[in-house]
């Protein structure tokens, strides 16, 4: 075998090797850039080192892309030069040389170096991304000076074209990710629903959930424990602002009814300086989103805050419970709710959760109501059935000797319902204690 033949065989072997490198570059690009943004973000704190490496590469994805493209173009150029050298040594006719060049350059390189590996990498993107991450990272480090220069030039051009950098995940992308996760079994349907409701908090404002000013009652430092107890019982207020100058707009503290009742009788006499009082009144704009309001409440370690309108006047009161109930109240299925809270607020008057069942009302107040009387199974549904429209705060309906009053409304449902019985129907309904939700 002559030296020319050996040279041709070596050149052919090198060309095949380069086509393999080209295939690797193409497949690595496809695998890495096929990973969803949420998945890449989840790799940041992954215990698997190669996944953290993927996050590092995709965190600087423009340089990673430049690195892969540069390597691929360099390899393809080398393949083209070797191809021309081999064809010259074959001494073919011009037509045969053109045909062989087209076959090797288009069919072989395109099919084996681009299309096929990219298709395979797309199908197995997760596994192949982990396989390709280390070699790509090594090339990334070696070519950093070059890629930094190219990236700077590209960013300058993109800035001139109005490109916006560092755009975070949009709500639509999160929702799409959640839906895909539910379809693939990553999340249960209930988990997906809860996450969607959490994202929906971004659009809801304090004004849509808060207790309005007309519902509020405030305390003064001179109020006795008995007065406070009567106000809480009568108006079913879990939190009460405290004002030293008898003006709600100047409230400077907030009392928790639950903590007040947990105090011993003797400690209630000094209630203003006890643990039941949040000694600073936190104010939140009523136009704030629930997401911001919850973050503000947690940062201040406050359980409630007063909502203020654009003029600085108190327009309502918002609590952490209100925000959580807005989230969970619409996410939990009715048949999953097995326990409801009730509190007796006055003679023959009880405060119920609007989503409590008719059976719960019957058993709690010892009422006899025929099962076929209503088609709805919840108090909120019965209220709508009797009224024939979506309930508004302050609406009331009656049946037999029972009066139902919409004490608080969240969205299109009653969150707190005041139920009043005529004295003759209150037998067996002597309930003390409980809590308001």
Average pLDDT in the 107-129 region?
Answer: 86
Confidence of residue 367 (pLDDT cuts 50, 70, 90): confident
Contact 5, 95 (CB under 8 A): no
Question: DSSP code of 35?
Answer: S
Confidence of residue 360 (pLDDT cuts 50, 70, 90): confident
Check whether 335 has a pLDDT greater than 70: no
Check whether 237 has a pLDDT greater than 90: no
**Token reading at 287:** 């136009």
Contact 374, 392 (CB under 8 A): no
Q: What percent of the chain has a predicted confidence (pLDDT) above 90?
A: 26
Task: Please report the pLDDT score of residue 105 as a whole number.
Answer: 67
Give the 3-state secondary structure of 40-74.
HHHHHHCCCHHHHHHHHHHHCHHHHHHHHHHHHHH
Q: What percent of the chain has a predicted confidence (pLDDT) above 70?
A: 90
Question: DSSP code of 389?
Answer: S
Check whether 165 has a pLDDT greater than 70: no
Tell me the sheet residues that pair with 277: 255
Confidence of residue 132 (pLDDT cuts 50, 70, 90): very high
Phi, psi of 83 (to 5 degrees): -60, -45
- Strand intervals (E) in 230-289: 239-242, 253-256, 277-278, 283-285
Check whether 437 has a pLDDT greater than 60: no
Average pLDDT in the 398-417 region?
Answer: 86
Tell me the sheet residues that pair with 406: 417
Among 184, 264, 260, smallest CA distance to 223 is for 260
Class of domain 337-425: alpha beta
Check whether 163 has a pLDDT greater than 80: no
User: For the domain 206-327, what is the CATH code?
Assistant: 3.10.580.10
Cα separation of the two ends of the chain? 92
Check whether 430 has a pLDDT greater than 70: no
Phi, psi of 260 (to 5 degrees): -65, -45
> Residues 171-213: pLDDT tens digits?
677 778 788 878 877 778 877 877 877 777 677 889 888 989 9
């Amino acid at each position: 075998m002559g030296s020319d033949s050996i040279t041709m065989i070596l050149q052919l072997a090198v060309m095949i090797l380069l086509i393999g490198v080209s295939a690797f570059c193409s497949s690595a690009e496809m695998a890495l850039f096929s990973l969803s943004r949420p998945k890449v973000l989840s790799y940041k704190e992954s215990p698997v080192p190669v996944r953290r490496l993927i996050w590092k590469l995709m965190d600087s994805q423009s340089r990673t892309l430049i690195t892969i493209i540069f390597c691929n173009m360099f390899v393809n150029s080398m393949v083209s030069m070797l191809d021309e050298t081999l064809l010259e040594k074959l001494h073919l006719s011009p037509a045969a040389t053109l045909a062989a060049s087209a076959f090797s350059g288009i069919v072989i390189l395109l099919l084996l170096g681009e299309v096929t590996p990219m298709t395979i990498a797309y199908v197995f993107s997760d596994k192949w991304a982990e396989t390709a991450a280390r070699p790509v990272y090594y090339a990334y480090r070696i070519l950093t000076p070059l890629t930094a220069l190219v990236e700077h030039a590209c960013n300058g051009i993109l800035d001139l074209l109005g490109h916006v950098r560092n755009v975070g995940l949009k709500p639509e992308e999160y929702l799409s990710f959640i839906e895909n996760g539910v379809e693939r079994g990553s999340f249960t349907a209930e988990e997906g629903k809860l996450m969607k409701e959490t994202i929906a908090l971004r659009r809801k404002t304090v004004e849509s959930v808060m207790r309005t000013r007309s519902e509020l009652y405030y305390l003064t430092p001179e109020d006795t424990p008995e007065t406070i107890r009567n106000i809480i019982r009568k108006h079913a207020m879990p939190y009460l602002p405290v004002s030293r100058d008898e003006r709600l707009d100047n409230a400077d503290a907030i009392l928790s009814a639950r903590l007040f009742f947990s105090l011993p009788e003797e400690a209630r006499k000094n209630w203003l300086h006890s643990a039941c009082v949040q000694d600073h009144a936190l104010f939140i704009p009523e136009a704030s989103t629930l997401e911001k309001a919850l973050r503000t409440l947690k940062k201040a370690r406050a359980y409630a805050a007063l909502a203020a309108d654009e003029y600085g006047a108190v327009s309502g009161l918002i609590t952490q419970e209100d925000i959580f109930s807005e989230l969970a109240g619409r996410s939990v299925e009715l048949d999953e709710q097995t326990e409801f809270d009730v509190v007796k607020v006055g003679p023959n008057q009880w405060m119920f959760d609007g989503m409590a069942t008719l059976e719960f009302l019957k058993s709690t107040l010892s009422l006899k109501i025929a099962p076929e009387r209503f088609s709805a199974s919840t108090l909120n549904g019965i209220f709508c059935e009797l009224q024939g429209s979506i309930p508004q705060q302050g609406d009331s309906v009656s049946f037999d000797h029972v009066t139902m009053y919409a004490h608080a409304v969240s969205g299109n449902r009653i969150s707190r319902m005041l139920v009043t019985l005529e004295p003759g129907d209150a037998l067996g309904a002597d309930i003390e204690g409980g809590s308001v939700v």
